[in-house]
Structure 1
């Protein structure tokens, strides 16, 4: 019974640690890279700014946003981003760790999951978070791009965006772009297994364990895995952003009828480079974001594991004498056994004097040794 209670406590503790660390890490990263996220989203949806002839696209875009929308414009969509990331990373890390645990129990050696098993866990977690948080990402995209559509009545905030999307487009509007979002599971299915492998490789090189890697080593593993996954899967983000954004123009027919129509039109109009529009900005945003997210998650998770007591700790606190009592009982049992053997030896020596004469020191030595 106590073992079951301890297992339940550990399960609850793991859930709290995974969810808390994931939500906190995602919020920190989102706040840090929000200006780059705004630029990336606008490049995905609207392409290069008009009149862009040279210089840094990022600097030019930042100057344009500051000039037309002020400092607040660089943090468009931050509220829904954080609101989305709180459940996003909380659900993701929790489901990911849970699935890894299930896959470990299905015959794994308990040390290292295979690359395929890691991909399966990452894909399952990615599907859960995509379905749960897609409406929040739609709102974020609309808020970040509405400043570039002067002919559209702007949303006044996150709640306004939600209510108007539901009223004007129905529930379907909140799930626009869900198909490319699900396709985007391939991103985390590459990133997380790569991250796990890199951590294991670095730990072996440093002759340590994965849970003792320094923040610098975690930063290296997270950045390399993120760059690899981003470059391989970026086109789906362009398609997703365009499908999510097109519904905000009122009295204008949607430009794309679906995923395949969007892919055909982007390729016909812009070629392959069109699918990588904003990729450089995205890497500048997602790489530090991944470093902050993963490193923060690992550090916060370790901290929470130290702060939040496990089921065994709580039991020892509520029953402080349990271990000492058992120890005293064990000592008492040993003493009783010794006394029984001693009495038996004395009785035997008294009833058999000839044997005592033959071995005069045997019983005395045994009695002395037992004391």
Structure 2
């Protein structure tokens, strides 16, 4: 039995990737890796995301007496949500999150990698290392594009996650029907509510990704643990610094364009939170957010680097699909035994054209 017969999926993937023009292949690999990594992490941390969103919008996702029975807000919130709404309640908003994250991370990582490639080859030097400022430019461009593209889905996610603690409204059911309903009842203003603070939130990625790139390079010799450390540290720093925009965004998305809005725009929301709740109001749900985003960042970046590495290996002309009982090193050509070319986590080196060096 040949290797290709032993692994038909790998063979099909290889044929598909190798059939794509080389200058487009790297974009596709980044898109697939980003989409897969985002979906995995979103599913893993969804229950914490539900609690975080309810804390941001309604101050407490469960009655105070429930918390008083024992346990912290996060633990009791999860317990009460499970008791009252079951497993479905723990995963409210997951569907639009997946719908949003697939294009979000795919477009983000693709745009980010391509912007970095453009900046790297501006002066014609294939070995140029980007400065922190250039990493920030790439992050801002990519983040702005994805926020504009996916904002309607984040609006749906927020409303699905918070409607159980809001009385007097007809419940939203399903992602597509919610999009249609919001568009019909509120128009583009409803679908794009919260976009301004979301764009302000681009500062989050402008902090996170340069820090991640810097730490990943410094910890390159640590392998997997280096990537985990760089992911967690960069996400915690960025999330804490920029968290207030998430509270403002969630509250504007939750209220939409109702007849009697609680807030009249971004500035009014910021002022009322300060007047009514003080600095604590801007950080409601922040502890839950850190509990959610830190493992999410680790899963996302680690999965992205691993999936991208595997796809690059498969798309290489010298790749041979592995047999089920053969040693992995014996299955590869000498080209693939070169660990410097396909090291697991540091990004692949690019030539002056921005493509993967061959």
Q: What whole-Å deviation, never above 9, does each CA across 1:185-240 have from its counterpart, x for those lacking one?
A: 0000000000000011112xx3xxxxxx6222111100000000001000000000
Q: Structure 1: 5+ residue runs without aligned partners?
A: 1-5, 207-212, 314-371
Q: Distance in 1 between matches of 2:166 and 2:248?
A: 19
**Which residue in 2 is equivalent to 1:28?**
40
The range that moved more, 82-91 or 158-167, is 158-167
1:10-36 per-position Cα deviation (integer Å, ceiling 9, x unaligned): 221101110000000000000000000
Q: Which has the higher helix share?
A: 1
**Residue 292 of structure 1 corresponds to which residue in structure 2?**
299
| Post-superposition CA distance 1:255-306 (Å, at most 9, x none) | 0110000000001110001000000000000000000000000000000000
Question: Which among 27, 34, 45 is matched to residue 15 of structure 1?
Answer: 27
Find the aligned partners of 2:121 and 2:49 in 1 and give their Cα distance: 39
Aligned-residue offset at 1:152: 1.2
| Within-5 A mapping of 1:51-90 | 51=64, 52-53=67-68, 55-90=71-106
Please state if 1:105 is matched with 2:118. Answer: no
1:339-350 matched pairs, under 5 angstroms: none
Deviations 1:306-333 (A, max 9, x none): 01136x99xxxxxxxxxxxxxxxxxxxx
Which has the higher mean CA deviation after the structures are superposed, 147-156 or 120-129? 147-156
1:241 aligns with 2:250: yes
Q: Which residue of 2 aligns with 1:261?
A: 268
Q: Distance in 2 between matches of 1:247 and 1:137?
A: 12
- Cα distance in structure 1, aligned partners of 2:224 and 2:189: 42
1:303 to 307, 310, 321: 310
Aligned residues: 296
Give the distance between the partners of 2:241 and 2:22, measured in 1 at CA.
38
Match of 1:331 in 2: none
Structure 1 counterpart of 2:238: 229
Shift of 1:111: 4.2
Partner Cα distance (2:191, 2:202) in 1:
19
Report the CA distance between 1:55 and its aligned residue: 2.9
Q: CA deviation at 1:73?
A: 0.3
From the CA coordinates, give the structure whose radius of gyration is larger. 1
Secondary structure in 1 matching 2:256: helix
Select the residue among 147, 157, 178 that pairs with 1:161.
178
- Mapped to 2, the partners of 1:158 and 1:225 lie a distance apart of 31
Provide TM-score, normalisation by structure 2: 0.80
Alpha-carbon distance between aligned partners in 1 of 2:273 and 2:126, rounded to the nearest angstrom? 47
Q: CA RMSD in A?
A: 1.8
Distance in 2, Cα, partners of 1:147 & 1:92:
32
Q: Pick 1 or 2: higher relative contact order, CA cutoff 8 A, min separation 6.
A: 2
Looking at structure 1, the residues matched to 23 and 276 of structure 2 have their Cα atoms a distance apart, in angstroms, of: 52
Larger mean Cα displacement after TM superposition, 153-162 or 253-262: 153-162
Q: What is the distance in 1 between the residues matched to 2:311 and 2:176?
A: 33
User: Per-residue deviation at 1:67?
Assistant: 1.9
| Shift of residue 150, structure 1, vs aligned partner | 3.2
251, 268, 277: which one pairs with 1:270? 277
Aligned counterparts of 2:161 and 2:110: Cα–Cα separation in 1:
29
